Structure 1
Amino acid sequence: MGVARMYNPYFRGKQFELITIRETAGLMAGAGFVPIIEPVKEALKGLERTLQTICDAGGRAIVVVNPYHGDHQEDGVGITKVLQADYIGNDAISAGILLRSNTTLAQAIAACEAHKDHNPTFVHAGFTSQKALAEYLGEDLPASQHVFIEEHANTLYRKHFDGSTRVLIRDGFKRLKNAEYAKTPVEEFSELHLTYSSDLNMAGFGDFLVVGDSYSESGGPAYAVAIHLTFIDPDKDDVMYIYHFVSTSNDTPTDPAGKFAQALKKLIDKLNTGNSKLLETDAIKEFRDLHAKGHFPGLGHVKKLAMKHHIETLAGYLG
């Protein structure tokens, strides 16, 4: 895990998230990016295919074995079985142990012991027994791996794990109703890719891409369609910003295709100014293509393209 310039995108394992990972597996492996996947769907075939794709590409991943959201929150046994069937002793796939506010020290230790063969990574997201966990790890602490969700793990909390491999995840995406993004068509996303190592003494950084940390099973009918695309601004110290291209007719939950066309036109108009600062990624090429054909691929596909663009942008910058 100690690769410099390490990026850990945090995915909830919905269908389009898993497709995004599969389609960028080669790119992420080449860049040294390690996705974190919290499986939320009962069926694990998609997860299995995704892990296989990652390994075939020579990449690595962290898979949360005790998800907080979705179909496995009561019991992550199925996920553990996937790891035990195919990934014993394979350090490419690490078992992520999610430590929430309701996780006891005993549960954390039990999960760690149960996944000793899977190169465990602790994911800190509200846990309150950090001092006791650090003491339990004892002399194994320097070899241990910790991912901190920033909102739940301040500097003092993280200090307990000094000397281990530490990654900080910041949610740069402000979750609003789609129509509300029109008020701030561009805003700051994060500068963590610049500060994680020098200022915060972390081995890596991450985010929830352009989806955000808040989880919902379904979007419901969309009154507005928004395309969220990140870019690095060389005129502002290479800080990352995000554009929100939002449809204009947002009064009724009908005609998503028409609304997508409105949002897409705004994106294309911005690209055509020549000063959008958006990296010309494969995802952007596909957006151009959709515009040229007048085609609406579905909202899940649009989200997938935005996530791909984010990964490609960071790979382009950090590479």
Structure 2
Amino acid sequence: MTTYYPYLRGRMYDLLALKTLAEQHQLGPNIVPIIEPVRDSKELLTTVRALIKAEQPFSIVANPQVSVYGLNDTKLYPLPDLTELPFYHPSAILAPDFRADWLTKNAQQSSLLIAPNYPLLQAYQRTTMFKTVNGILVPNEARLRAIAGTRAIALTDPMPFLPHIAEYAQLTDEFFAPANWAYQLDGSQGFGDYSIVGHHYFDKGMPSRAIAIHLIYVTADGSLRLHHFVSDSNDSMRGQKNKFFEALQKLIDWAPTHLTGLNQTPALQDLLAYQDSPKFPGLGAVKKLALMHHFQLMHRLLSLN
């Protein structure tokens, strides 16, 4: 059975999505969330506790490369000891600050190396760490895959980054992953992506002229596609509530034809239920449900495979 490794920066809505799914046991053993922490927050701590309580496989990157989380050794919300948990995956990014001891594991654990840098991976390929690490997450680049061999795990970023949200209206519907998404690398037992969040990280958000709901769905041939539902009244930043309901109405109109079968997840139903509420739930709540929908869908697909 293949394993899915969603890679998430620890934004609040990312963490709340994982926490809720863990509490509801809707991830399963074949989904291993990798969290690169960005803030020393109560949400990170409570999410980790929920994952532990559910005995859900997961990983926390030992040396995060974005934001300031890794710069402060004294934490307001220190994480519990993870070293003896059999379902925990020690992980680290192969970066200039890398230390091999971050991938120390016990006999029941599997370790993960995130290796986006070819020169560093090449330099480490004869080390003990390289020989003992269980999985190596690499971009879809031939020379990196060649070094990682059968331990290579494709870490892709299919979510397009556009500088203005309104521009997603020009894409509407696009490819996310091929029908053989579970086996994108020959011999690999896993794959990963950045879901609908993308690998770009911004420390602070800001109001936008447009609001978009991004949803991943599976087609009849098994491929994954991404649809963007974008508001219309995008001339100014005013009217966030109205913008949301414009985007939601497009989802409501589109869903009965396209989001059938396995695509009808609990998170999708919660998202559609906003049509019965006069209140704007906030972008964080919308992003949380869209992310939960993706993971609930992947859980169903992996259960089939």
Q: Same fold (TM over 0.5)?
A: yes
| Alignment partner, residue 292 of structure 1 | 276
Structure 1: state its 5+ residue gaps. Answer: none
**Aligned amino acid, residue 113 of structure 1:** D
| Alignment partner, residue 290 of structure 2 | 306
| Alignment partner, residue 51 of structure 1 | 48
Structure 2: state its 5+ residue gaps. Answer: none
Q: What secondary structure does 2:191 align onto?
A: strand
Q: 1:60 to 1:212 in 2, by over 3 A?
A: same
Q: CA deviation at 1:287?
A: 1.6
Q: CA deviation at 1:169?
A: 1.2
| Alignment partner, residue 175 of structure 1 | 161
TM-score relative to the length of structure 2 = 0.89
Q: CA deviation at 1:117?
A: 4.3
Equivalent residues of 2:154, 2:185 under 8 A apart: no
**In structure 1, distance between residues paired with 2:231 and 2:277:** 18
1:162 aligns with 2:141: no
Equivalent residues of 1:65, 1:79 under 8 A apart: no
Q: 1:276 to 1:50 in 2, by over 3 A?
A: closer
Q: CA deviation at 1:238?
A: 1.5
Q: 1:65 to 1:219 in 2, by over 3 A?
A: same
Structural mapping, 1:23-42, within 5 Å: 23-25=20-22, 26-42=24-40
**In structure 2, distance between residues paired with 1:306 and 1:32:** 20
Q: 1:280 to 1:297 in 2, by over 3 A?
A: same
1:281 aligns with 2:265: yes
1:68-127 CA distances to partner (integer Å, 9 max, x unpaired)?
A: 111224356759963xx4222223222321124xx2xxx43xx22255247542111225
After superposing on structure 2, the runs of 4+ consecutive aligned residues of structure 1 that deviate more than 6 Å are none
**In structure 1, distance between residues paired with 2:288 and 2:159:** 15
1:246 aligns with 2:239: no
Equivalent residues of 1:226, 1:246 under 8 A apart: yes
TM-score relative to the length of structure 1 = 0.85
* Between 20-29 and 199-208, the greater mean CA deviation after superposition: 20-29
Q: 1:195 to 1:218 in 2, by over 3 A?
A: same
| Alignment partner, residue 245 of structure 2 | 261
**In structure 1, distance between residues paired with 2:18 and 2:102:** 27
Q: CA deviation at 1:155?
A: 2.1
| Alignment partner, residue 94 of structure 1 | 89
Matched residues, number: 297
- For 1:134, which of 118, 125, 146 is the aligned residue? 125
Name the % identity.
27
**In structure 1, distance between residues paired with 2:15 and 2:184:** 32
- For 2:2, which of 1, 5, 28 is the aligned residue? 5
C-alpha RMSD over aligned residues: 2.4
From the two aligned structures, give the one with the greater helix fraction.
1
